[in-house]
Protein backbone atom coordinates (compact mmCIF):
# COMPACT_ATOMS: atom_id res chain seq x y z
CA UNK A 1 0.00 0.00 0.00
CA UNK A 2 2.80 2.41 0.92
CA UNK A 3 4.47 1.67 -2.41
CA UNK A 4 1.30 2.50 -4.32
CA UNK A 5 0.84 5.77 -2.43
CA UNK A 6 4.47 6.69 -3.11
CA UNK A 7 3.98 6.02 -6.83
CA UNK A 8 0.78 8.10 -6.93
CA UNK A 9 2.61 10.93 -5.15
CA UNK A 10 5.47 10.86 -7.67
CA UNK A 11 3.12 10.76 -10.65
CA UNK A 12 1.06 13.66 -9.29
CA UNK A 13 4.08 15.83 -8.45
CA UNK A 14 5.69 15.03 -11.80
CA UNK A 15 2.57 16.12 -13.69
CA UNK A 16 2.16 19.19 -11.51
CA UNK A 17 5.75 20.35 -11.99
CA UNK A 18 5.78 19.81 -15.76
CA UNK A 19 2.40 21.45 -16.32
CA UNK A 20 3.48 24.56 -14.40
CA UNK A 21 6.85 24.43 -16.16
CA UNK A 22 5.12 24.77 -19.54
CA UNK A 23 3.07 27.66 -18.17
CA UNK A 24 6.20 29.55 -17.15
CA UNK A 25 7.92 28.66 -20.41
CA UNK A 26 5.02 30.28 -22.24
CA UNK A 27 5.37 33.37 -20.06
CA UNK A 28 9.08 33.61 -20.85
CA UNK A 29 8.60 33.04 -24.58
CA UNK A 30 5.84 35.64 -24.87
CA UNK A 31 7.78 38.17 -22.79
CA UNK A 32 10.94 37.89 -24.89
CA UNK A 33 8.95 37.90 -28.14
CA UNK A 34 6.98 40.98 -27.11
CA UNK A 35 10.08 42.82 -25.89
CA UNK A 36 11.70 42.24 -29.26
CA UNK A 37 8.69 43.08 -31.41
CA UNK A 38 6.69 45.67 -29.46
CA UNK A 39 8.67 46.92 -26.46
CA UNK A 40 8.33 46.62 -22.70
CA UNK A 41 5.07 48.58 -22.63
CA UNK A 42 3.17 45.56 -24.01
CA UNK A 43 4.78 42.73 -22.06
CA UNK A 44 2.11 42.47 -19.37
CA UNK A 45 -0.76 42.25 -21.85
CA UNK A 46 1.09 39.48 -23.71
CA UNK A 47 1.80 37.33 -20.66
CA UNK A 48 -1.15 38.12 -18.39
CA UNK A 49 -3.18 34.90 -18.75
CA UNK A 50 -0.36 32.33 -18.44
CA UNK A 51 1.29 34.45 -15.73
CA UNK A 52 -1.84 34.58 -13.59
CA UNK A 53 -2.44 30.85 -14.02
CA UNK A 54 1.16 29.71 -13.43
CA UNK A 55 1.76 31.87 -10.38
CA UNK A 56 -1.62 31.19 -8.80
CA UNK A 57 -1.00 27.45 -9.22
CA UNK A 58 1.84 27.87 -6.73
CA UNK A 59 -0.78 28.01 -3.96
CA UNK A 60 -0.83 24.22 -4.28
CA UNK A 61 2.78 24.15 -3.11
CA UNK A 62 1.70 25.50 0.26
CA UNK A 63 -0.81 22.65 0.48
CA UNK A 64 1.87 20.17 -0.61
CA UNK A 65 4.01 21.26 2.32
CA UNK A 66 1.12 21.20 4.79
CA UNK A 67 0.09 17.63 3.95
CA UNK A 68 3.66 16.35 3.70
CA UNK A 69 3.86 15.70 -0.04
CA UNK A 70 7.13 17.65 -0.19
CA UNK A 71 9.87 18.42 2.32
CA UNK A 72 9.95 22.17 1.70
CA UNK A 73 9.03 23.99 4.94
CA UNK A 74 5.84 26.03 4.73
CA UNK A 75 7.63 28.79 6.66
CA UNK A 76 9.88 29.33 3.61
CA UNK A 77 7.30 28.66 0.89
CA UNK A 78 4.46 30.80 2.28
CA UNK A 79 6.19 34.22 2.30
CA UNK A 80 7.66 33.73 -1.18
CA UNK A 81 4.38 32.75 -2.76
CA UNK A 82 2.36 35.31 -0.79
CA UNK A 83 4.58 38.20 -1.86
CA UNK A 84 4.36 37.18 -5.50
CA UNK A 85 0.59 36.81 -5.38
CA UNK A 86 0.34 40.23 -3.77
CA UNK A 87 2.44 41.86 -6.50
CA UNK A 88 0.64 39.98 -9.27
CA UNK A 89 -2.99 40.31 -8.14
CA UNK A 90 -2.84 43.15 -5.62
CA UNK A 91 -0.64 45.45 -7.70
CA UNK A 92 -0.36 44.64 -11.41
CA UNK A 93 -3.83 43.17 -11.95
CA UNK A 94 -5.49 45.76 -9.72
CA UNK A 95 -3.78 48.87 -11.11
CA UNK A 96 -3.54 48.79 -14.92
CA UNK A 97 -1.56 52.05 -14.91
CA UNK A 98 1.53 50.07 -13.91
CA UNK A 99 1.38 47.45 -16.64
CA UNK A 100 3.52 49.42 -19.09
CA UNK A 101 6.26 50.02 -16.49
CA UNK A 102 9.69 48.72 -17.52
CA UNK A 103 10.00 46.87 -14.20
CA UNK A 104 7.22 44.54 -15.33
CA UNK A 105 9.64 43.13 -17.92
CA UNK A 106 12.45 42.55 -15.43
CA UNK A 107 9.93 41.03 -13.01
CA UNK A 108 8.49 38.63 -15.58
CA UNK A 109 11.89 37.59 -16.92
CA UNK A 110 13.32 37.03 -13.41
CA UNK A 111 10.30 35.03 -12.28
CA UNK A 112 9.95 32.95 -15.42
CA UNK A 113 13.62 31.95 -15.76
CA UNK A 114 13.70 31.03 -12.07
CA UNK A 115 10.57 28.91 -12.35
CA UNK A 116 11.49 27.24 -15.63
CA UNK A 117 14.63 25.94 -13.94
CA UNK A 118 12.93 25.09 -10.65
CA UNK A 119 9.97 23.20 -12.07
CA UNK A 120 12.07 21.32 -14.62
CA UNK A 121 14.43 20.30 -11.80
CA UNK A 122 11.67 18.96 -9.58
CA UNK A 123 9.76 17.50 -12.52
CA UNK A 124 12.84 15.57 -13.62
CA UNK A 125 13.59 14.49 -10.07
CA UNK A 126 10.07 13.17 -9.50
CA UNK A 127 9.87 11.45 -12.91
CA UNK A 128 13.31 9.82 -12.91
CA UNK A 129 14.39 9.81 -9.28
CA UNK A 130 17.21 12.32 -9.78
CA UNK A 131 18.20 15.34 -11.85
CA UNK A 132 21.43 15.91 -13.83
CA UNK A 133 24.20 17.79 -12.04
CA UNK A 134 24.03 20.78 -14.42
CA UNK A 135 20.32 21.24 -13.67
CA UNK A 136 21.03 20.93 -9.94
CA UNK A 137 23.67 23.64 -10.25
CA UNK A 138 21.27 25.93 -12.15
CA UNK A 139 18.53 25.30 -9.59
CA UNK A 140 20.75 26.41 -6.72
CA UNK A 141 22.85 29.09 -8.43
CA UNK A 142 20.75 31.26 -10.76
CA UNK A 143 18.95 32.84 -7.79
CA UNK A 144 22.22 34.65 -6.98
CA UNK A 145 21.30 37.11 -9.76
CA UNK A 146 17.61 36.46 -10.38
CA UNK A 147 16.45 36.85 -6.77
CA UNK A 148 17.87 40.40 -6.42
CA UNK A 149 16.49 41.42 -9.83
CA UNK A 150 13.08 39.95 -9.00
CA UNK A 151 12.92 41.53 -5.55
CA UNK A 152 14.04 44.92 -6.90
CA UNK A 153 11.28 44.75 -9.51
CA UNK A 154 8.67 43.77 -6.91
CA UNK A 155 9.63 46.58 -4.53
CA UNK A 156 9.82 49.10 -7.38
CA UNK A 157 6.35 48.20 -8.64
CA UNK A 158 4.78 48.33 -5.17
CA UNK A 159 6.34 51.75 -4.58
CA UNK A 160 5.21 52.98 -8.00
CA UNK A 161 1.67 51.81 -7.25
CA UNK A 162 1.29 53.92 -4.09
CA UNK A 163 0.05 57.10 -5.86
CA UNK A 164 -2.52 55.09 -7.84
CA UNK A 165 -3.66 53.32 -4.67
CA UNK A 166 -4.21 56.69 -2.99
CA UNK A 167 -5.96 58.20 -5.99
CA UNK A 168 -8.31 55.30 -6.62
CA UNK A 169 -9.14 54.37 -3.04
CA UNK A 170 -9.44 50.77 -4.23
CA UNK A 171 -9.66 48.10 -1.52
CA UNK A 172 -9.83 50.79 1.16
CA UNK A 173 -12.68 51.03 3.65
CA UNK A 174 -13.52 54.44 5.05
CA UNK A 175 -15.32 55.40 8.22
CA UNK A 176 -18.16 55.66 9.02
CA UNK A 177 -19.51 52.26 7.96
CA UNK A 178 -21.75 49.59 9.46
CA UNK A 179 -18.75 47.52 10.56
CA UNK A 180 -17.18 50.49 12.37
CA UNK A 181 -13.85 49.50 10.84
CA UNK A 182 -11.45 51.25 8.47
CA UNK A 183 -8.75 49.91 6.21
CA UNK A 184 -6.36 51.83 3.96
CA UNK A 185 -4.76 49.83 1.15
CA UNK A 186 -2.06 52.51 0.86
CA UNK A 187 -0.76 51.66 4.33
CA UNK A 188 -0.97 47.96 3.50
CA UNK A 189 1.41 48.73 0.63
CA UNK A 190 3.76 50.52 3.01
CA UNK A 191 3.66 47.55 5.39
CA UNK A 192 4.47 45.23 2.49
CA UNK A 193 7.47 47.38 1.57
CA UNK A 194 8.57 47.34 5.20
CA UNK A 195 8.43 43.54 5.29
CA UNK A 196 10.74 43.34 2.26
CA UNK A 197 13.49 45.16 4.19
CA UNK A 198 14.26 42.38 6.71
CA UNK A 199 12.53 39.61 4.73
CA UNK A 200 14.60 39.76 1.54
CA UNK A 201 18.07 39.43 3.16
CA UNK A 202 16.73 36.66 5.40
CA UNK A 203 15.34 34.71 2.43
CA UNK A 204 18.54 35.27 0.44
CA UNK A 205 20.56 33.91 3.35
CA UNK A 206 18.24 30.91 3.60
CA UNK A 207 18.71 30.16 -0.10
CA UNK A 208 22.49 30.47 0.23
CA UNK A 209 22.34 27.88 2.98
CA UNK A 210 20.20 25.60 0.82
CA UNK A 211 22.66 26.03 -2.06
CA UNK A 212 25.64 25.09 0.08
CA UNK A 213 23.85 22.03 1.43
CA UNK A 214 22.60 20.83 -1.97
CA UNK A 215 25.89 21.31 -3.85
CA UNK A 216 28.03 19.79 -1.11
CA UNK A 217 25.72 16.77 -1.00
CA UNK A 218 25.98 16.32 -4.78
CA UNK A 219 29.78 16.36 -4.59
CA UNK A 220 29.78 13.58 -2.01
CA UNK A 221 27.53 11.48 -4.22
- Residues marked as catalytic: 147, 154
**Cβ–Cβ under 8 Å, residues 117 and 138:** yes
**Cβ–Cβ under 8 Å, residues 196 and 154:** yes
User: Which string of b and e fits 15-35 if b means at least 16 CB within 10 Å?
Assistant: ebbbebbebbbbbbebbbebb
CA atoms 74, 75, 80, 81: torsion sign: positive
Q: What is the phi/psi pair of residue 87, to 5°?
A: -65, -40
Closest to 115 measured CA to CA, from 193, 58, 30, 179: 58
Give Cβ neighbours of residue 60 (< 8 Å, ≥ 6 apart): 16
Amino acid sequence: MAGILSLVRRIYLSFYNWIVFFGWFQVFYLAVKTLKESGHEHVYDAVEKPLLLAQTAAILEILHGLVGLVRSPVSATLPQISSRLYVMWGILWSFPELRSHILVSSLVISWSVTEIIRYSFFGTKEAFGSAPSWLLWLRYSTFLLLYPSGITSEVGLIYSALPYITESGKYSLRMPNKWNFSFDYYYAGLVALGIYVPGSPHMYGYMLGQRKKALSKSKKE
